[in-house]
Amino acid sequence: MKNIFTILLFLGYAITIHSQEPALITFATGFSSPVDLKHAGDDRLFVVEQGGRIKILNSNGTTNTTPFLNISTLVSNGSEQGLLGLAFHPDYDTNGFFYVNYTKTNGDTRVARYSVDPGNPDIALPGSELTIIEYTQPFPNHNGGGLQFGPDGYLYISSGDGGSGGDPGNRAQNTTILLGKMLRLDVDNPSGGNNYGIPTDNPFSGSTVNAEEIWAYGLRNPWRFSFDRDTGDIWIGDVGQGDVEEIDKASGTEAGLNYGWRCYEGSAPFNTAGCPPVGDLTFPIAEYSSSSGSGNCSITGGYVYRGSQYPLIQGIYYAADVCSGNIYTVGTSGNLINHGSFGGSWVAFGEDLAGEMYIVDLGGTIYKMEDNSLIGYEDNILSNLAIFPNPASEYITLLLEESTISSITITDLKGSTIASEENINTSQKNVSVNAMRPGLYLIKVIDTNGYTTVKKLVIR
């Protein structure tokens, strides 16, 4: 935001920036309980269905008839179980490896690697499953299920506390087991008889007592987490017991953090018997109520927006609630904004290759997220300038009554000049914009009398 205000002072006009307002555009329908959405380094999106299928969603909104993967016979389905997570290897374009997180027919968790068919990029290679890690689930709920490769190239796995209510076995605080944790594995360098290795900077690497796979602990049910593609920060949406939904944030290098469950639900004490000192815990950057009457029940963590189409929401983190349909944002200072209900059962967010964001409704629809932020200008000078069409995609026409245009400058919101022209000396000017990326720009026009105006220009 600082850069925006610097630009405005430089250009010399008054402006009011309104808070970001999400908008949802239907992108595709017809899925069966979709729960995750990922890209593989190209323009396809991969939709994970809880029942055990992964389907390819093309950039034009069509869905391939043949599933990319079908492991429905291997998956327990219902309630919080099923095929829950997907991640593509950072070198997927060369090795064809992708990873899934699912509950087996006996309810236990398995993370497995599959390979794409070398003869067909739209289907997985039959019989290519390689189990990476498995662990027992004592109850059918709180399985976690998220998978992401971090900026460090390691595979991160979100594991719930094993279920029931209130973590009766104190599993999230127990660092000898894998439940209630964020796990971090080196899948490229297996060792110790496993199909993975332990990164040497894992907090318990080399321990003969604590689980070496642990990266962070004290989590209840971290259903969805993500990495900021610009900063490497990890953001975790951790589902609460019944009163507090929490959003956790840490740098990608902070190992061994204890997020506090079952001692605290968010920042509220829950069961502090035998717990470590408060100073040893990491509390949420933001939280909201899911207590009786709130309409909320379960947070779905999203992503920090890093696309290019909506510059005003750069760096904003998005999350949502499954029951209320509310969508939330968190700014860099941790300020939580509730944008109200958008009516869906939001169970996942997704990014495409360009960083544009999507949101997944368990009912079967994928929506593309847009931003309806407004910028209002006080055009006290040169108010008789018309720009059309706006939004535009190919060209714009500038029309000035009772004067002639001297110069035009188009800048992005970072202050970079995208296009400029001087000594125009005409009252009407056509400007090509077909080479400009979609997004919001500022266009400054000076007439031959030296009067100036700045207007908003939207490129679709």
What domains lie within the chain, and their CATH numbers? Answer: 19-371 (2.120.10.30), 377-459 (2.60.40.3080)
pLDDT of residue 112: 99
Question: Order of strands, edge to edge, in the sheet holding 147-149?
Answer: 147-149, 155-159, 181-185, 214-217
pLDDT of residue 250: 98
Per-block mean pLDDT, blocks of 10 residues, the chain (460 long): 34 40 93 98 98 97 98 94 98 98 98 98 98 98 98 98 97 98 98 98 98 98 98 98 98 97 98 97 98 97 93 91 97 88 96 97 96 51 77 91 89 77 93 89 85 82
pTM of the model: 0.81
pLDDT of residue 415: 63
